[in-house]
């Protein structure tokens, strides 16, 4: 990181050091929700991972999107699945977020509060919101694959969502 970027004092306007570490730091200043996306492979194996790259896209038709890095070992499972769920995590579900984010955990679903939705894919119980999606379309974008889900059904509970900001979990507070 250059001294000008570190000090927040650009020579002209803005920092032009776009090294991934610099970008990660800047993008980390944007608070995001934390979710687990999950699917089931044709052989019955459940696959899930933590994401914060989730966004609403369209109300008519109901579409959401999320992204997955191209070198993910789970890329084929999500690229080829017919359905997936997005479970927006609640405060208190930090351990689940960490478990599903870790490549060192062999069975992320072991002991997790999970139930299957009618489409046969797993969802996280106790989530603030769950969206069941058909794998509608995909588009390569830089070093990621964008996955567009057509929302088929939703469920939600009154709870405080888990938030990720500046490299740590936090929560929204009432004003």
Examine residue 170 and state whether it is found in any structural domain, yes or no.
Answer: no
Type and span of the H or E element at 171: strand 168-171
On the question of pLDDT at 27 being above 50, the answer is yes
Question: Whole domain around residue 105: which residue ranges?
Answer: 29-164
Token readout for 5 is 């970027």
Q: With respect to residue 52, please indicate whether it lies within any of the assigned structural domains.
A: yes
| Residue 85 counted as domain residue | yes
Residue 171 lies in a domain: no
Amino acid 12: pLDDT:
57
Mean pLDDT of 51-78: 95
- Whether 19 maps to a domain, the answer reads no
- What distance in Å separates the CA atoms of residue 7 and residue 3, rounded to the nearest whole number? 6
When pLDDT is cut at 50, 70 and 90, the band that residue 3 belongs to is very low
| pLDDT tens digits along 68-89 | 999 999 999 999 999 999 999 9
Q: How many whole angstroms from its chain centre is CA 50?
A: 5
Whether residue 8 is contained in a domain is answered as no
pLDDT of residue 123: 98
pLDDT at 6: 52
Q: Is residue 115 part of a domain?
A: yes
Confidence category of residue 1, pLDDT binned at 50, 70, 90: very low
Could you please report the per-residue DSSP string of 80-102? H-SEEEEEEPBTT-HHHHHHHH-
Question: Looking at the DSSP assignment, which residues form a beta bridge with residue 50?
Answer: 36
> How far apart are the C-alpha atoms of 36 and 32, rounded to whole Å?
13
Residue 82 included in any domain: yes
Q: Which domain CATH number covers 81? A: 2.30.110.10
pTM listed for this prediction = 0.86
Number of structural domains in the chain: 1
Mean pLDDT of 134-148: 96
């Amino acid at each position: 990181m250059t001294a000008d970027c570190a000090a927040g004092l650009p020579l002209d306007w803005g920092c032009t050091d776009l090294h991934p570490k610099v970008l990660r730091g800047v993008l980390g200043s944007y608070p995001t929700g934390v979710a687990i996306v999950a699917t089931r492979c044709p052989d019955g194996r459940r696959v899930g991972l933590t994401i914060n790259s989730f966004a609403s896209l369209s109300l008519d038709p109901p579409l959401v999107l999320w992204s997955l890095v191209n070198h993910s070992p789970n890329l084929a499972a999500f690229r080829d699945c017919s359905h997936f769920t997005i479970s927006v995590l609640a405060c208190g579900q930090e351990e689940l977020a960490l478990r599903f984010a870790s490549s060192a955990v062999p069975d992320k679903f072991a002991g997790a509060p999970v139930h299957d939705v009618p489409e046969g894919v797993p969802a996280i119980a106790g989530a603030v919101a769950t969206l069941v999606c058909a794998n509608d379309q995909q588009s390569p974008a830089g070093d990621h694959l964008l996955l567009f889900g057509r929302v088929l059904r939703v469920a939600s509970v009154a709870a405080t969502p888990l938030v990720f900001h500046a490299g740590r979990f936090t929560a929204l507070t009432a004003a």
